[in-house]
Amino acid sequence: MRVIAGTAKRLMLKTMEGMDTRPTTDRIKETLFNMLAPDLYGCSFLDLFAGSGGIGIEALSRGAKEAVFVEKNPKAAACIRENLMHTRLLDRGEVMQTDAAYALRRLEDERKFDFVFMDPPYEKGLERQMLELLSKLHLLKEEGMIIVEAAKETSFGYTEELGFSIIREKVYKTNKHIFLERRKGE
């Protein structure tokens, strides 16, 4: 796994051994960031279930002002810190080694984000749990976007009732990205 573009372009990132994390492939990451490119510079980026930190590091490399990485697994959190040091982006990244729900509640009064990206373990219902929590909190800036990476089969038919609109869906071979924003007036 590597950084695709920006100040850390071509630098290889460390990943964890085994199946505890599921790094986003370079091809999918490149497609995602090509869609986000116009809005990345100077943004605040939240990477939930960050794994080895590849998504948030890509955002920083491409000009995000700051990124917060939330990862419960201690080995994965250590991997993120190593990757931030290796890419020389540690000064703009913060690693929270904790549960995603706890991190969201803790961040509520401290920060607002332009992008909230989440890639939770598939088929455990965590996407819905996090979206339900995000619908009650004020972590997303007014024009902010939530991006969920999920298994291809995952249904998001409940998002309207939570106050979110799906503005885009990008389907790949085995997974997909869902792009959400708060419905106007919510």
31-42: pLDDT as tens digits = 888 888 888 999
Q: 88 has which bridge partners?
A: none
- CATH 3.40.50.9100, applies to 26-182: no
pLDDT at 141 > cutoff 80: yes
The number of beta carbons lying within 10 Å of the beta carbon of residue 103 is 20
SS3 call for 141 = strand
For the record, the structure tokens of 92 come out as: 């703009």
**Domain chopping of the chain, boundaries:** 26-182
Say which amino acid occupies 177. Answer: H
Return d(Cα 119, Cα 51) in angstroms, integer: 9
pTM: 0.90
Query: In the predicted model, what is the mean pLDDT of residues 48-61?
Result: 92
Q: 123-147 burial by CB neighbour count: b if 16+ within 10 A, else e? A: eeebbbebbebbbeeebbbeebbbb
Per the model's pLDDT, the better-predicted residue between 174 and 116 turns out to be: 116
Please say whether the beta carbons of 54 and 29 come within 8 A. Answer: yes
Query: In the predicted model, what is the mean pLDDT of residues 102-128?
Result: 93
Contacts of residue 96, Cβ cutoff 8 Å, sequence gap at least 6: 68, 69, 70, 71, 103, 106
pLDDT at 25 > cutoff 90: no
Q: Which of 5-9, 94-98, 160-164 has the lowest mean pLDDT?
A: 5-9
pLDDT at 135 > cutoff 50: yes
